[in-house]
Structure 1
Amino acid sequence: MATAIRTTLRAGLPDRYLTPEDIADLFSVPLETVYAWRKKRTGPPGFRIGKHLRYAPEAVHAWIGTRIEADAA
C-alpha cells in the first residue's frame, strides 16, 4: 500500500484524502508518530470528518516543501 501511495504522490495528487495510516506508511514512521505530530502541531495539517482524521494531499505536499526548505536553511 505504501508503495502505491508513493507512486501516486510522485505522479500527481491522489484522488482521495489520506488517512493517518497512509501518512505513517508514506513517511515510514509509526502511526503513533503521526498522532504525536498532530498533537504538537508539527506534522502535516489534518482535519476531521466526523470522527475520522484525514489529510488533504495538497496540504501534505505543502508541508513536505516547508520541511525541505527548513532543512536546506
Structure 2
Amino acid sequence: MPEPRGASQAAFLTLPRAAEYLGISPNTLYVWRHRRQGPPSFRMGRRVMYRITALDEWICDQERADSRSNRAIDPLNRKPQRRSKAVKRRGGLRVRSPPRRSSPQGDWIVPQIALAPTS
C-alpha cells in the first residue's frame, strides 16, 4: 500500500529546503553536490532530493570531525612534537646539508669551487 503524500514529503527535502534546513545558501549546496562533497543526495525524477535522516547524520559527522567539538582530535590537547632536522636526499642516500657559515659583517660566504683548466 503506498504511503500518504504527506509522509513522503516529510522524509525528503528538495535542494532549496535542504539548504534552509542546514542554514546555508542553496548555491553552496549546488556547489557541494557538483564537487561530491556535503550531505548525500539523489535524484527523484528531475529534482535533487535529500533524506532528512541523511542530513542529520551528515551534521553529526561534521561535529565529530571538528576538533573544536571533539576533544579527542583537538590538537591543543596533544603534547608538542619536536621537529626533526631537514635532510636532503642525494642519489637515494640521506645526506645532511653542511651548516652555513657567515662572515662577521653578516654577509653569506659562498664556498669557492676550484675549476680545472681546460685545454
Per the normalisation by structure 2, the TM-score is: 0.46
User: Which residue in the other structure is 1:16 paired with?
Assistant: 11
3-state SS in 2 of match to 1:18? strand
Deviation of 1:39 after TM superposition, in Å, equals: 1.1
For residue 65 of structure 1, what is the amino acid of its counterpart?
Answer: C
Deviation of 1:42 after TM superposition, in Å, equals: 1.6
Deviation of 1:24 after TM superposition, in Å, equals: 1.6
Distance 2:58 2:22 in 1: 12
Question: 1:28-70 deviations in whole A, cap 9, x for unaligned?
Answer: 2221100011111221100001111100111111111110000
Which of residues 31, 46, 50 in structure 2 aligns to 1:55?
50
Return the structure number with greater relative CO, CA threshold 8 A, min gap 6. 1
> Which structure features the higher share of helix residues?
1
Q: Which runs of 4+ in 1 moved over 3 A?
A: none
1:27 matched to 2:11:
no
- 57-66 or 18-27, which deviates more: 18-27
Deviation of 1:15 after TM superposition, in Å, equals: 2.4
Distance 2:23 2:56 in 1: 16
Per the normalisation by structure 1, the TM-score is: 0.71
Distance 1:57 1:28 in 2: 14
Paired residues in the alignment total: 60
